[in-house]
Structure 1
Amino acid sequence: MTELTKLTLASALDGLKTKAFSATEITQAFVDSIEASNDTLNAYVVKTPEKALEMAAASDKRIAAGEAGLLEGAPIGVKDLYCTKGVRTTACSNILGEFTPTYESTVTQQLWDAGAVMLGKLNMDEFAMGSSNETSRFGPPANPWRRNGSNQNLTPGGSSGGSAAAVSADLCLAATASDTGGSIRQPASFTGTVGIKPTYGRASRYGMVAFASSLDQAGPIAKTVEDSAILLEAMCGHDAKDSTSLPEPVPEWRNAVRRGVQGMKIGIPKEYRVDNMPEDIEALWSQGIDWLKEQGAEIVDVSLPHTKYALPAYYIVAPAEASSNLARYDGMRYGTRVSGDNLISTYEGTRSEGFGAEVQRRLMIGTYVLSSGYYDAYYLRAQKVRKKILNDFVEAFGSCDALLTPTCPSAAFAYGEKADPVQMYLNDIFTVTANLAGLPGISVPAALDKQGLPLGLQVIGKALDETTCFRVAGALEEAAGFVAKPEKWW
């Protein structure tokens, strides 16, 4: 039965359709795997085996009646950022205490409507603020991958580290994640999985715990490009409950994955060739260019001149929005409360004990850049830079269909190796631009580095053109033939 957990989402759905196994059987296999592995990997912060088996039994009935949905009977994990009715949701922060929502997020509701089965809630950086998943109140998850000859625990990336670790270790068929500055694509790159951030507004943010509202976007982490397309189709769609949700139809992205890149133009941004880039990543990027050329794509050089300002702009805009969004956590209505002598001391005690160090750091930065006398100098200027970054992309897309870049400037690193916050923030150097411009970006596993760790290539597309992202990603996946899996130690 453990072989069932090794299936891709597409092959599992095929097996369920042909009744090669039941939803209950595959769900039980995952429940058993989680029970055996989670104490070591710490991917799940809430396990819901009874709920999963109940949902699986309902799926089996629908399959028998010929009423199967798009994801009928497929067991998946949910990042602890999505409100799930009756199941604790804390964004892995102490400040939310044991908060149990009385409603369902739009994205997860759409997944359950499509027949998916919930295995539990997945670990993440507190309020999605981090690139290593070590700010979680539940402790960090372990990356299933390890360096050759080493037993040192590595980060699966952040903030969706639990999602990436669970998919990589076969503890779910696929998982929901979210991406504010690279939190889907970087963990995917670190764990040999596929992660896509769709165009801003493609997926509803209703019922997602907010970090930075103009940047947050839901998306999947999955085992293959096809799997990510299947899950993204179910996650996206217009939602009247989210004012930023786009009233656009959801294309059949799964059909785009094997269409190839013949006749397409792929842009290579010169500004992504950064100083001290590891040789392995430089070589993989060149290899990716060759793969696309061999499949009939034309390679064009493009320039995104304001790229160097992307990280500074992001680390002004995101903390500013976070300081506004997180002002609601005051210990009055829900979550943790630390009682003080008066109202002010109650607020101070609640927030200082409820928020971890990284969240406090970003809230202080955000409050500072929004304060009187600094708003124009920082926040307003960062928004102007953001507009210039978007204009760079518009200009570049005048001569190409999509961009090819590395996903990250390094492979997975060990916990504690990047103790300096600024060094940690530099992890997002290739991913934040897509968030600032609201564009779709997908990370595809394409090779192992010299230490045996996975590396990803990133494809950035035009707004609302996930179809092209999936075409290019499918071509890269086929050319790379990446089938490596972590050697089981957990």
Structure 2
Amino acid sequence: MDLSFASLADLSKALSEGSLTSTAITRHFLERIARHDKALGAFVNVDADRAMSMAEGLDRLRASGVVYGPLHGLPIAVKDLIDWQDEICTVGSKAWKDRRSTGNAIVMRRLLAAGMIPIGRTAMVEFAFGGWGTNPICGTPRNPWDMETHRIPGGSSSGSGVAVAAGLAPAALGSDTGGSVRIPAALNGLVGLKPTYGRISLKGCFPLSATLDSIGPMTHTVEDSALLFEALSGGRARGPHDTAGTGDNVWRMADTAR
């Protein structure tokens, strides 16, 4: 199995069989990021030490018989508009280069509850407004299908698409208002899902259009998208701004002012 382009389902099977560990998988992707992302520009931040610490802890849990589910111990990349407590979250803008999240988005809580390892935050179009994937201020990720000519990666979830297509992460989260998961998925040869409105909470994610936004997975296979959808949706339909049991972690209007 080529770890770089293996599906979440195949990696999960290898973990359950004991032929791989979360530590080995996470280290593999972190090494690929270190080796290739300077040319690709998919990530705006990677915390390798924290990712490895999480992987080691999840391996210990598995060894003790505790497994959160099929995604336990698998790495994932996250678009830079999803809040994670105390993390820098720029939403693709240098104006917000020092902005730190004051809480966790519900989708982030669900990733962690599923035992996933967020390995880094991915580049995006400034404030998620654009379909080409270009960001002339913060940098535009390179479509990995052509390393000679800098071709557009599709946006606004440009970094997420490039990260998965280039084998820097087995899956990634993006956001889609008018195509921002589906466009980069199409241009990078991936599966991209825009879920039905209201199935996945938007709480703690930067808003572009409150009635059109959605958070969706970008993966190598339909099966992987289904696995992530199950985890992110919590197995039940609620409103997109569902706040049940999540604490006060809301984007205020003042947060969205440029």
Common fold by TM > 0.5: yes
> 1:58 Cα deviation (Å)?
1.2
Q: Is the 8 A contact 2:5 2:220 kept in 1?
A: no
What is aligned with 2:156?
A: 159
Alignment-mate amino acid for residue 189 of structure 2: G
Task: Return closer, same or farther for 1:116/1:219 CA change in 2, 3 Å cut-off.
Answer: same
**1:74 paired to 2:74:** yes
Task: Return closer, same or farther for 1:208/1:136 CA change in 2, 3 Å cut-off.
Answer: farther
**1:172 paired to 2:169:** yes
Which structure 1 residue ranges, 5 or more long, are not aligned?
248-324, 331-350, 352-490
Q: Is the 8 A contact 2:73 2:117 kept in 1?
A: yes
Moved over 6 A (4+): none
Q: How does 1:32-431 map to 2 (within 5 A)?
A: 32-70=31-69, 71-135=71-135, 137-146=137-146, 151-237=148-234, 244-245=241-242, 328-329=255-256, 351=258
Alignment-mate amino acid for residue 24 of structure 2: E
Q: Secondary structure at the match of 1:197?
A: coil
Give distance in 2, aligned partners of 1:128 and 1:102: 20
Give distance in 2, aligned partners of 1:55 and 1:152: 37
Q: Is the 8 A contact 2:198 2:237 kept in 1?
A: no
Q: What TM-score, normalized by structure 1, do the two folds share?
A: 0.49
Give distance in 2, aligned partners of 1:235 and 1:48: 22
Task: Return closer, same or farther for 1:179/1:329 CA change in 2, 3 Å cut-off.
Answer: closer
Q: Is the 8 A contact 1:43 1:141 kept in 2?
A: yes
Q: Is the 8 A contact 1:239 1:245 kept in 2?
A: no
Alignment-mate amino acid for residue 49 of structure 1: A
What is aligned with 1:252?
A: none
Q: What TM-score, normalized by structure 2, do the two folds share?
A: 0.90
Q: Is the 8 A contact 1:93 1:136 kept in 2?
A: no
Q: Is the 8 A contact 1:6 1:170 kept in 2?
A: yes
Q: Secondary structure at the match of 2:2?
A: helix
TM-superposition CA deviations, 1:337-389 (whole Å, max 9, x none): xxxxxxxxxxxxxx4xxxxxxxxxxxxxxxxxxxxxxxxxxxxxxxxxxxxxx
> 1:82 Cα deviation (Å)?
0.2
Number of aligned residues: 249
Give distance in 2, aligned partners of 1:51 and 1:174: 18
What is aligned with 1:18?
A: 17
Give distance in 1, aligned partners of 2:175 and 2:220: 16
Task: Return closer, same or farther for 1:246/1:193 CA change in 2, 3 Å cut-off.
Answer: farther
Percentage identity across paired residues of the two chains: 37
What is aligned with 1:288?
A: none
What is aligned with 2:247?
A: none
Q: Is the 8 A contact 1:5 1:26 kept in 2?
A: no
Q: Secondary structure at the match of 2:77?
A: strand
TM-superposition CA deviations, 1:163-194 (whole Å, max 9, x none): 01000001001001110001111111101100
Task: Return closer, same or farther for 1:165/1:62 CA change in 2, 3 Å cut-off.
Answer: same
> 1:326 Cα deviation (Å)?
6.1
Which structure dedicates a bigger proportion of its chain to helix?
Answer: 1
Give distance in 1, aligned partners of 2:136 and 2:102: 23
Give distance in 1, aligned partners of 2:256 and 2:6: 41
* Root-mean-square deviation over aligned CA pairs: 2.1
Task: Return closer, same or farther for 1:181/1:19 CA change in 2, 3 Å cut-off.
Answer: same
Task: Return closer, same or farther for 1:92/1:137 CA change in 2, 3 Å cut-off.
Answer: farther
Alignment-mate amino acid for residue 106 of structure 1: I
Give distance in 1, aligned partners of 2:229 and 2:152: 25
Q: Is the 8 A contact 2:203 2:242 kept in 1?
A: no
> 1:51 Cα deviation (Å)?
1.0
TM-superposition CA deviations, 1:188-223 (whole Å, max 9, x none): 110110000110010001110111111110110000
Of the structure 1 ranges 84-93 and 130-139, higher mean CA displacement relative to structure 2 is found in 130-139
> 1:155 Cα deviation (Å)?
1.1
Q: How does 1:461-476 map to 2 (within 5 A)?
A: none
Alignment-mate amino acid for residue 98 of structure 1: D
Which structure 2 residue ranges, 5 or more long, are not aligned?
245-251
